[in-house]
Structure 1
Amino acid sequence: MSAVIETRGLGKVYSAGTEAEVVALRGVDMVIGRGEFVAIMGPSGSGKSTLMNLIGCLDTPSHGTYLCDGVDVSTLDAEERARLRLHKIGFVFQGFNLLSRLDALENVAMPLGYADVAPAERLSRAQAALEAVGLGTRVHHRPSELSGGQQQRVAIARALINRPPVLLADEPTGALDTKTGEEILALFRSLRDQGHTVVLITHDAEVAACADRVFVMRDGELHAQTEQEAAQLASVARAMAGAARGGGA
Structure 2
Amino acid sequence: MSAQSPKAAGAAVTPVIETRGLRKVYSPGTEAEVVALRDVDLTVMPGEFLAIMGPSGSGKSTLMNLIGCLDTPSGGQYLCDGVDVSTLDAEALAVLRREKIGFVFQGFHLLPRMTALENGAMPLGYARVPPAERRERARAALEAVGLGARLHHRPNELSGGQQQRVAIARALINDPPVLLADEPTGALDSRTGEEILALFKRLRDEGHTVVLITHDAHVAAHADRICVMRDGQLHEATHEELKA
TM-score normalised by length of structure 2: 0.92
The alpha carbon displacement at 1:77 in A equals 2.1
From 122, 131, 135, give the equivalent of 1:119.
131
The 1-side partners of 2:184 and 2:32 are apart by 34
Q: Counterpart in 1 of 2:69?
A: 57
Q: Counterpart in 2 of 1:170?
A: 182
Task: Report whether the alignment pairs 1:140 with 2:142.
Answer: no
1:194-234 superposed Cα distances (whole Å, 9 cap, x missing partner): 0100000000000000000000000000011124336x49x
Q: Tell me which stretches of 4 or more aligned residues in structure 1 moved more than 6 Å.
A: none
The 2-side partners of 1:227 and 1:182 are apart by 22
1:119-168 superposed Cα distances (whole Å, 9 cap, x missing partner): 11110000000000000010000000000000000000000000100000
Q: Counterpart in 2 of 1:241?
A: none
The 2-side partners of 1:123 and 1:185 are apart by 26
The alignment's C-alpha RMSD in Å is: 1.3
The 2-side partners of 1:47 and 1:65 are apart by 17
The alpha carbon displacement at 1:17 in A equals 7.4
From 59, 65, 81, give the equivalent of 1:47.
59
The alpha carbon displacement at 1:22 in A equals 1.0
Pair 1:17–1:62, CA change in 2 (3 A): closer
From 82, 85, 89, give the equivalent of 2:97.
85
Task: Report whether the alignment pairs 1:160 with 2:172.
Answer: yes
Q: Counterpart in 1 of 2:38?
A: 26
1:10-46 superposed Cα distances (whole Å, 9 cap, x missing partner): 0000007745421100000000010000000000000
| Identity percentage of aligned residues | 78
Q: Counterpart in 2 of 1:36?
A: 48
TM-score normalised by length of structure 1: 0.90
Task: Report whether the alignment pairs 1:130 with 2:145.
Answer: no
SS of residue paired to 1:125: helix
From 69, 72, 81, give the equivalent of 2:81.
69
Q: Counterpart in 2 of 1:203?
A: 215
Higher deviation after alignment, 120-129 or 8-17: 8-17
1:166-191 superposed Cα distances (whole Å, 9 cap, x missing partner): 00000000000000000000000000
From 206, 213, 216, give the equivalent of 2:225.
213
SS of residue paired to 2:16: strand
Higher deviation after alignment, 13-22 or 180-189: 13-22
Higher deviation after alignment, 90-99 or 77-86: 77-86
Q: Counterpart in 1 of 2:122?
A: 110
The 2-side partners of 1:17 and 1:117 are apart by 46
State how many pairs are aligned: 232
SS of residue paired to 1:137: helix
The 1-side partners of 2:202 and 2:86 are apart by 32
SS of residue paired to 2:109: coil
Structure 2: tracts of 5 or more residues without a match: 1-6, 8-12
Structure 1: tracts of 5 or more residues without a match: 234-249
